[in-house]
A and B are shown apart, each in its own frame.
Chain A
């Protein structure tokens, strides 16, 4: 099955004053939800900013919806079909929730007042904020602001939805509600979801890309990444000092994520988090040897 490529990055590199954010990344994405995982500074935010046309790469080719971004027209057309949620953003201080999304809708060229307000109400309802639309943004909680920020990204059902940590500060109930919104968006749009929440990736994404220091460390199905941890996760009565990670769980037993089975251990079902720890744990060990 071939799906259309909507985002294509070839040899994309970006440096900020001496630090490499992206180091020649080749990736392409099509409709569906792809999770972006990686430690802080891995290049996730830079990648999303480049895909959101906010940042120009130092080198490499970026194609969005089949177009290069060299002409102003191409840039405009792509931006019309793009929804972006930055990692950190402020709100104009005096705005209400409705006013903020309304302002964003104007920037997205909804010039007619009546259809624009209908659309604003639609996206506010999607993130379950329609009841708080008249409150000033500064009186909203962190999770509510995050949902408000997500609402503006959903305006006009964009073909490209680029979300940088959309669930930060959002409570579990709302997070599950947002999954519903995102999974529906993923049926027709290309959704890139950068996050630190491995359970969000496990719940939503079929594909996962793990970035580390500006390079792609893993790119494939979520199930394939989880499978790399099969036989490396153990439940034992005590901690295993040779494990990459080991902690006492609520049941009193110790979950050990590592190669060898400790004595008296039984194999446990691996999660994406285990596989992620193992993948990046190799790096930590390599660094330890080098140092």
Chain B
């Protein structure tokens, strides 16, 4: 079938713009099905850029990585998308780690509910170490797959470390707090553990300027568990968070913070690699 009539430029233009009426649009569409000449002519009226833009958007949506729960949470807190991405590459921020925390705290909560002194000791032994472990596993040659690349990049090493630390604290401390507050019989202990937890976190960060953070965390963990154990043997595990010793944690945190501030630039070049 050969068409003798052809659409004019004005009709094409108004059709492409979308302001041709329904009848004219329908008849043009009918005509286009059969007329090759008009098909090739209408193509010239179609702006290629919007098409490319649409295609780019589609490609963007398909290729751009889906944001994990941690990333989404951080973005909702107002953190720039790029910082959220940096945080999410930390191994300790995976959902599986959070589940690990939840699981261990469930056991602790249960033991607190059942076992009086022993349960209290267990809670005190574990709660302050949760953020410490998280921080230790957030940065460093032993745990970060891309550690060498991160060091060689212009992104500030201290910023990377502190961002990830902040993220670990934000995600783990509320969990421990909730467990502590829900468990019966903890009273002030449900909150006071935050002091040793903060002090130990700063100590690990300061120590990370000399040794791998994981080593520092391991030493701290052993020391803390021994301290709590010794107090528990004397039937008073809460002694480690006694009002009399709390200033010592504040002092420890302060000293470690000063050391961290003075040495934080050592995070930018490594002396040893595994």
Task: Give A residues with C-beta under 8 Å from B.
Answer: 16, 49, 52-56, 69, 72, 75-77, 79-80, 82, 84, 86, 89-96, 98-99, 102-104, 106-111, 113, 116-117, 121, 133-134, 152
Contact = CB atoms under 8 A, between A and B. Distances in A.
8 contacts: A54-B152, A79-B153, A86-B149, A92-B91, A96-B65, A107-B150, A108-B154, A109-B153
Contact of B149 (A75, A84, A121): A84
Given A89-B146, A92-B145, 7 more contacts: A53-B269, A86-B148, A86-B149, A93-B145, A102-B85, A109-B155, A121-B59
B85 A89 contact: no
A89 B152 contact: no
A79 B152 contact: yes
Range of interface residues on chain B? 20 to 34
B149 A98 contact: no
Interface in B65-100: 65, 68, 80-82, 85-86, 89, 91, 94
Contact of B64 (A54, A76, A102): A102
Contact of A107 (B62, B64, B80, B86): B86
A90 B65 contact: no
Chain A interface secondary structure, helix, strand, loop or mixed? mixed
A226 B151 CA distance: 37
A111 B64 contact: no
Contacts of B52: none
Given A89-B148, A103-B86, A94 B94 contact: yes
Contacts of B145: 89-93
A287 B202 CA distance: 52
B234 interface: no
Contacts of B146: 89-92, 103-104
Given A54-B148, A54-B151, A111 B86 contact: no
A5 to B, nearest CB: 20
Most B Cβ at <10 Å: residue of A80, A89, A96, A106: A106
A96 B68 CA distance: 12
B270 interface: yes
Given A55-B273, A89-B145, A117-B60, A102 B65 contact: yes
Contacts of B64: 98, 102, 117
Contact of B269 (A75, A90, A111, A113): A75
